[in-house]
A = this chain, B = another copy of it.
Amino acid sequence: MVIVNMILFEAMAGGGDFEELPLPPGLSQYEDYHTIDWQRDIARDRMRHRHIVKKKQDSICDLIKGAHDAWSGWLCLLLVGIAAGVVASVIDIGAGWMVDLREGICPQAFWLDRQQCCWASNETFFDTISGAHCSKWMPWSQLFTSNSAGAGATFVQFLFYVAFSVMFGALAAVLVKVFAPYACGSGITEIKTILSGFIIRGYLGKWTLLIKSVCLMLSVAAGLSLGKEGPLVHVACCIGNIFSYLFPKYGKNEAKKREILSAAAAAGVSVAFGAPIGGVLFSLEEVSYYFPLKTLWRSFFCALVAAFVLNTINPFGNQHSVLFYVEYNKPWMFVELIPFIGLGIIGGVIGSLFIKANIFWSRYRMRSKLGQYPVAEVLIVTLVTAILSFPNPYTRMSRSQLIYALFSQCGPADNHDLCDYKRNFTSVNLDMQLAEAGDGVYQALWQLPLALLFTLIATIFTFGIKVPAGLFIPSLAMGAIMGRIVGIAMEQVAYKNSESWIWQGECASNYCITPGLYAMVGAAATLGGVTRMTVSLVVIMFELTGGVRYIVPLMAAAMASKWVADALGKEGIYDAHIKLNGYPFLDSKEEYAHIALAADVMKPRNNEPLCVLTENSMTVAEVEDILKETDHNGFPVVVSKESQYLVGFVTRRELHLALENARQAVDGMTGDSLVVFGTSLPSPWDGPPPVKLKMILDMAPPTVTDHTPMETVIDMFRKLGIRHTLVTHNGRLLGVITKKDVLRHIETIKER
Contact = CB atoms under 8 A, between A and B. Distances in A.
Question: Which residue of A53, A274, A543, A711 has the most chain B CB atoms within 10 A of its CB atom?
Answer: A711
B645 A730 contact: yes
A277 interface: yes
> Closest 8 interchain pairs by CB?
A731-B731, A700-B708, A699-B707, A719-B719, A645-B731, A50-B593, A297-B534, A700-B707
Interface of A: 1-2, 4, 6-7, 10, 39, 42-43, 46-47, 49-50, 53, 274, 276-277, 280, 284-285, 292-294, 296-297, 300-301, 304, 307-308, 320-322, 534-535, 538-539, 542-543, 546-548, 551-552, 555, 559, 588-589, 591-593, 595, 597-598, 639, 645-648, 699-701, 703-705, 707-709, 711-712, 715-716, 719-720, 728, 730-732
Contacts of A708: 1-2, 700
Contacts of A730: 639, 645-647, 731
A201 B539 CA distance: 37
Contact of A43 (B6, B7, B307, B712): B712
Nearest to A533: B297
A589 B700 contact: no
A599 B296 CA distance: 34
Given A46-B591, A535-B280, A700-B708, A304 B551 contact: yes
Question: Which residue of A53, A593, A701 has the most chain B CB atoms within 10 A of its CB atom?
Answer: A593
B7 A709 contact: yes
10 contacts: A1-B708, A39-B711, A277-B542, A297-B534, A301-B559, A308-B552, A546-B548, A645-B732, A700-B707, A700-B712
Nearest to A732: B731
Contact of A548 (B50, B322, B639): B322
Contacts of A705: 648, 699-701, 703
Nearest to A321: B548
A699 B320 CA distance: 60
B731 A39 contact: no
Nearest to A48: B593
Nearest to A334: B312
A49 B593 contact: yes
A542 B546 CA distance: 10
Contacts of A543: 548
Contacts of A39: 711-712, 715
Nearest to A598: B700
Contacts of A300: 534-535, 538, 555
A396 to B, nearest CB: 32
Contacts of A274: 548
Contacts of A551: 276, 304
Contacts of A43: 709, 711-712
Contact of A646 (B2, B320, B731): B731
A383 B307 CA distance: 51
A304 B555 contact: yes
Nearest to A715: B720
Given A304-B555, A546-B546, 6 more contacts: A297-B535, A300-B555, A304-B552, A308-B552, A598-B700, A715-B720
A284 B547 CA distance: 22
Nearest to A554: B304
A721 to B, nearest CB: 9
Contacts of A296: 284-285, 534-535
Nearest to A42: B711
A549 to B, nearest CB: 8
A654 to B, nearest CB: 16
Contact of A595 (B50, B593, B598): B50
B703 A703 contact: yes
A612 to B, nearest CB: 14
A646 B732 CA distance: 10
